[in-house]
Amino acid sequence: MSNKKIVFSGVQPSGNLHLGNYLGALKNFVSLQKEMECIYCVVDLHAITVFQDPKLLSNNILETTASFLASGLDPTKSIIFNQSSVSGHAELAWILNCVSRVGWLNRMTQFKDKAGSDKEKASVGLYIYPNLMAADILLYKATHVPVGADQKQHLELSRDIAQKFNNDFKCPGFFPLPDPLILKNISRVMSLRDGTKKMSKSEESDYSRINLKDSPDDIIKKIKKAKSDSEPIPENLKSLEKKPEALNILNIYSEISKNNLESVLKEMAGKEYSYVKKKLSDLLINEICPIGEKIKKLMNDRAYLMEILKKGNEKAKIKSDENLKNIREKVGLI
Ligand code: TRP
């Protein structure tokens, strides 16, 4: 077994990535690429587990790629590609469908949430989504997977599948058991309208989130309107326990100003939220707006984005083909 560290992560191609995606995922992806071999994938096959308008989907695949690049992912350092362009993902997913157990999938809480009350009407793809995620990871024998806390259960399933494969085909250590790199921040960026909900592109009000493509004016308006608290900023964290919106503002400020929450409270105690909001808007405009501008610029050069994906696809394919050849051999496929 080699002890090489390989990072793999996937982001679904939804257009309009927001501050939660940036602070929770993209920013961490960028720092990981300095230390390890990283593979970052736009997971379009996962997206179609619920119906996607074809035109929008193509556009969103490119926009997510543009957001990767604009946030600082470097295609000469990391492999950047879209999942459906490397057929090994679907092929390994099938093999793993035969390793994974119905009982295991029945425990997945995300399926229960996404399928809602009428499970009979959910796509089969949505049900076996976690097996495809395991295939993404194991296809490259990834050892480290940066994900938000909401994906932890899926990652544990990937470990179970890897373990069962290694046992069933008597090849201990063949698949490394992937370790989660749980990104603590991802669950911390909450809706600006409801501090108990994650910032999300599906929340109806655009005032609930800061989009990477927002203008400085949008950011100022949204932060001004964001829910906080009528009392001044307290000295200690404990007093924020029952005030999720106030905590969210301070958390985002702490993250973007690179100061921990304790020192933010020390600095801000006794001040009104309008004070921290003003500072927060300035910092967000500085950090987010240049990224948004870059995304817009990249989206005007689709040929360039297609070329990035093509090059990434070629690199991913070499690794995928090599691993898949060994996997097929273990299973006895000729
Ligand atoms: N399911 C993940 C999400 O929605 C995306 C994903 C797909 C992924 N394949 C992956 C994440 C492999 C990490 C590794 O966030």
pLDDT (tens digit, 9 = 90+) per residue, 178-224?
Answer: 999 976 655 579 999 999 999 998 899 999 999 999 999 999 999 99
Does 21 contact ligand 1 (Cβ within 6 A)? no
The catalytic residue among 112, 119, 141, 198 is 198
Does 44 contact ligand 1 (Cβ within 6 A)? no
Please give the single-letter amino acid code of residue 200. Answer: S
What fold is seen in the domain 206-297? Tyrosyl-Transfer RNA Synthetase (1.10.240)
Q: How far is the CA of 95 from the centre of ligand 1 (A)?
A: 19
Q: Whose CA is nearest to atom 11 of ligand 1?
A: 10
Question: Which ranges of the chain have pLDDT less than 70?
Answer: 1-2, 183-187
Q: How far is the CA of 71 from the centre of ligand 1 (A)?
A: 18
The catalytic residue among 5, 164, 201, 279 is 201
Most distant pair of Cα atoms in the chain: their distance: 71
Helix (H, G, I), strand (E, B) or coil at 182: strand
Does 137 contact ligand 1 (Cβ within 6 A)? yes
- Outline which parts of the chain fall under CATH 1.10.240.10: 206-297
Cα torsion for 131, 6, 304, 206, to the nearest 10°?
60
Half-sphere exposure of 155 (CA within 13 A, CB side): 21
Q: How far is the CA of 12 from the centre of ligand 1 (A)?
A: 7
User: Degrees (nearest 5) of the Cα angle 102, 150, 65?
Assistant: 105
Is 325 in the active site? no
Does 110 contact ligand 1 (Cβ within 6 A)? no
Ligand 1 atom closest to the Cα of residue 136 is: 12
Residue 209 burial by Cβ neighbours in a 10 Å radius (0-12, 13-18, 19+):
buried
The DSSP bridge partners found for residue 182 are: 147
Please check whether residue 100 is in contact with residue 161, taking contact to mean a CB–CB distance below 8 angstroms. Answer: yes
Half-sphere exposure of 258 (CA within 13 A, CB side): 2
Place of tokens 């295609």: 75
Q: How far is the CA of 8 from the centre of ligand 1 (A)?
A: 9
Distance CA 294, CA 307 (A): 17
Q: Using DSSP, how many helices (H) and how many strands (E) does the chain show?
A: 14, 5
Per the structure block, which two tokens stand in for 330? 């273990």
The catalytic residue among 114, 279, 296, 315 is 114
Is 201 in the active site? yes
Which pLDDT score, from 0 to 100, does residue 148 have?
84
Q: How far is the CA of 151 from the centre of ligand 1 (A)?
A: 7
Which pLDDT score, from 0 to 100, does residue 27 have?
92
CATH for the stretch 6-187+302-331: 3.40.50.620
Is 198 in the active site? yes
Distances (CA, A) of 12 to 77, 100, 159, 287: 21, 23, 21, 23
Distance CA 314, CA 312 (A): 5
Does 145 contact ligand 1 (Cβ within 6 A)? yes
Please check whether residue 211 is in contact with residue 16, taking contact to mean a CB–CB distance below 8 angstroms. Answer: yes
Q: How far is the CA of 334 from the centre of ligand 1 (A)?
A: 30
Ligand 1 atom closest to the Cα of residue 142 is: 14
Does 8 contact ligand 1 (Cβ within 6 A)? yes
Distance CA 117, CA 109 (A): 13
Does 92 contact ligand 1 (Cβ within 6 A)? no
Distance CA 22, CA 73 (A): 12
